Amino acid sequence: MQKTCKNCKKDFDIRKEDLIFYEQIKVPPPLMCPDCRMQRRIAFRNERTLYKRACDLCKKDGISIYPSKTPFPVYCHKCWWGDGWDPTIYKMDWNKSRPFLEQFLELKNKIPRIALLVIDSINSDYTNNAAENKNSYLIFAAENNEDCMYSRLIHHCKTVLDCVSVYESELCYDCVDCKKCFKCLFSERLQDCIDVLFSFDMRNCQNCILCANGRNLSYCIENIQYTKEEFEKKKAEILNSYESIEKAKEKYKKLRANAVVKYASSVKCNNATGDYMYNCHDGVNLFDVRNSKNCSYVSDGEDPIDCQDVNNMYFNAERCYNVMGSLQSTNCICSVYVLYCNETSYSDSCYNCVNCFGCVGLNKKNYCILNKEYGKEKYQKIKEEVVEQLKNEGIYGEFLPPALSPFGYNETLAKEYFPMDEKGAGEKGFNWQNETSGTYGKETIKEEAMPESIVDVTEDILKEVLVCKDCKKNFRITKSELDFYKRMNLPLPHKDFECRHQDRMSRRNPRRLWHRSCMCELKNHPHDAQKCDVEFETSYSPDRTETIYCETCYQQEVS
C-alpha cells in the first residue's frame, strides 16, 4: 500500500507485514511516513539540555531538563518519588463534549514532573536518561559507568570522555562506536583494541596510528609495520600540541573517507535493514538496536519483540507501537516514558501501571482514565468511547501532537536528526524554547591564548572561563577533566561540550537508508571478473566517498 505523508507530502510504502501488525493491535495505518513519525516521537525527548531550577516542593536548588516558568511543577527525584504528593488528586472526568487530547494536555500541565530521568546513580547530578552511574558528569543515555564525562550512549565504561556509543571500555577519548577498548583516542569502530589512535574499523589491534580496516595489527602506522620505538616517537609527535592533533584529524578524515566499509554495521542479523544492529531478525529501519525480533522502525532499542515505531525501548518490550521511552512494557501505544506498564495508551510518565488511558505521573495504578480510577467494566466502556472519538477525529493510533511536548524542538533529540530553525519548527506545529542555557562573552581567556600543550597547563585554568571556537559559548574545565587530560597527555579542548558532541555525531551515519549495490570489482572474489551485483539498503548515501561492499566481499577483503 502506498500513501502520501500528511506532514512532508512525500509518498511512502506500507508493507503487508505492517498492515498485519496494525490489524493485530487494532489501529489504522499511519498517516505519516516513518521519518515524520520518528521526528514527532523524539521531539518529546530532551536528553542534554539542562537548567538550574529549584524543586517546587522542597525548594532545594537542583538541575532539571525543564527551565523555570513551565506550566507544571517540577520536583526533584526524592520529592517526586516521595509520599508528599499524590497524582490522583489531579484526576479529571472525561468530558464527551471536548476533544480528549485537549483534556489530556490540561492534565499534563497540572501534574508535577520529575526534574531528571535518573535511576540509582551516585554523585552524578548532571546526567539524564541515565542509570547506575557513579562520579560522572554530563553523560546521557548511559548506564553502569564510572568517572565518565561528556558522552552519550556509553555503557559499562570507566574513565571515558567525549565518546558516543562506546561499550565496556576504559580510558578512551573522542571515540565513536567502540567496544572493549583501552586507551584509544580519536577513533571509530574499534573492538578489542589497546592504545589505538586516529584509526577506523579495527579488531584486536594494539599500538596503531592512522590505520583502517586492520585486524590483529601491532605497532602499525598507516597500516605499515614499524618498530615500537618508531611508534612511540610518532605518537609523541601527534600528542605534542593542539595544532599537531588538528593536523592528525585532517589526515584521519582523508583516511576515513577512502576506507572500505560494509553496507551496514550489523552482526548476527537476518532479514533486517538499518545500521548499528546486533542480533536483529526480521525487520526494517532499525538503528542502534540489539536483540530484536519482528520489529520495524525502531531506534535505540534493546530486546524488543513485535514492536513498531518505537524509540528508546529497552528490556524486553513487546507489542508496543508509537512509544517514546519504555522499560519492559507490553501492549502500549502512543505514549511517552511508560515504564513497566501493560495495556497503557496515550499516557506520559507512568510506572508499573496496567490498563491506563490518558494518564500522567501514575505509579502502580489500574483501570485509570485521566488519572481517575474506575472498575474494570466502567473503564472498558469509557475507553471504547474515547477511542471511538479519536477515530472519528482521524487521529487514533497517531502519536501525540507536537504541541503536547513539554520541550521546545531545539531542546530535543529531534533537532539532532531532523534539523530545523524556529520558523520551520513553528510551521510544523512544534514548540520552541527561547530561554537557552549558557553564557556568551564572559570569557577570561581567548582561544588564541590557550596553551598548546597540556604540559603548559596549571590548575589555574580551573579559574578561567573559556570560549568555544565554533558557537562562542563559554565553558569551563573541571578538575576531573584536567586530571584526565594530563594523564592521557591531551591538550585542552577548544570547543564546548555541545559542539564536540555534534562533531562526534556527524561521524555516525544518518538514520536513513538508500538502495545501492556492492562496489566491489576485485577479480579474486566469488564474482570473478564481473562487478559484484549484490544490492542492499544502506545508510551510506550515494554521494559518500567510501567504498561500500556487501557482506561477502567485505568479509573476504577485510576480515
pLDDT band at 530 (very low <50, low <70, confident <90, very high): confident
CB environment 425-464: b (16+ within 10 A), e (fewer): beebebbebeeeeeeeeebeeeeeebeebbeebeeebeee
Residue 258 parent element (H or E): none
| Cα distance between residue 357 and residue 328, in whole Å | 18
Identify residue 298 by its one-letter amino acid code.
Answer: V
pLDDT digits (tens, 9 = 90+) for 270-296: 999 999 999 999 999 999 999 999 999
Sign of CA dihedral 503, 504, 510, 516: positive
- Give, for 370, the enclosing helix (H) or strand (E): none
Contact partners, residue 110, CB within 8 Å, separation at least 6: 72, 90
40 close to 30: Cβ distance less than 8 angstroms: no
pLDDT of residue 471: 93
Other CB atoms closer than 10 Å to residue 496's CB: what's the count? Answer: 21
Give the contacts of 77 (CB within 8 A, at least 6 positions apart).
114, 115, 116, 118
Is the Cβ–Cβ distance between 241 and 250 less than 8 Å?
no
CA distance 199 to 286: 26
Q: Which pLDDT band holds residue 528 (cuts at 50, 70, 90)?
A: confident
CB 62 within 8 A of CB 53: yes
User: Span 119-127, mean pLDDT?
Assistant: 94
- The number of helix segments (H) and strand segments (E) in the chain equals 12, 36
> 549 pairs with which residues across the strands?
262
What is the reported pLDDT for 145? 98
Residues 6+ apart with CB under 8 A from 524: none
Q: Which of 39, 7, 8, 34 shows the shortest CA–CA distance to 413?
A: 39
Query: Residue 164, SS3?
Result: strand
Summarised one tens digit per residue, pLDDT across range 157-206 is 999 999 999 999 999 999 999 999 999 999 999 999 999 999 999 999 99
Report the pLDDT value the prediction gives residue 437, as an integer from 0 to 100: 74
Q: Which residues does 192 contact at the CB level (< 8 Å), separation at least 6?
A: 179, 180, 181, 203, 204
pLDDT digits (tens, 9 = 90+) for 346-358: 999 999 999 999 9
3-state DSSP helix/strand/coil percent for the chain, to nearest 5? 25, 30, 45
Q: What is the Cα–Cα distance from 243 to 198, expressed in whole angstroms?
A: 15
Residue 86 confidence (pLDDT): 96
Model pLDDT for residues 238-274, shown as the tens digit of each residue: 999 999 999 999 999 999 999 999 999 999 999 999 9
Using CA atoms, how far apart are residues 539 and 273, in angstroms rounded to an integer?
10
> Could you tell me what percent of the chain has a pLDDT over 90?
95
- Please write the tens of the pLDDT for every residue from 450-508: 999 999 999 999 999 999 999 999 999 999 999 999 999 999 999 999 999 999 999 99
Predicted confidence at residue 523, as pLDDT, reads 81
Q: Are 50 and 128 in contact (CB under 8 A)?
A: yes
Phi and psi at 423, nearest 5°, equal: -65, -45
pTM flag (> 0.85): yes
The C-alpha cell 590505520 sits at 211
Predicted local confidence at residue 90, as pLDDT: 97
Terminal CA-CA length for the chain: 40
State how far the alpha carbon of 170 is from the alpha carbons of 263, 316, 469, 483, in Å: 29, 28, 28, 15
Average pLDDT of the residues in 118-125: 93
CB of 318 within 8 A of CB of 306?
A: yes
Pairwise CA distance, residues 191 & 216, whole Å: 11
CA-to-CA separations, 150 to 66, 168, 555, in angstroms, rounded: 20, 16, 34
Residue 16 burial class via C-beta count within 10 angstroms: exposed 0-12, middle 13-18, buried 19 and up = exposed
Q: Please list the residues that pair with 51 across neighbouring strands.
A: 64
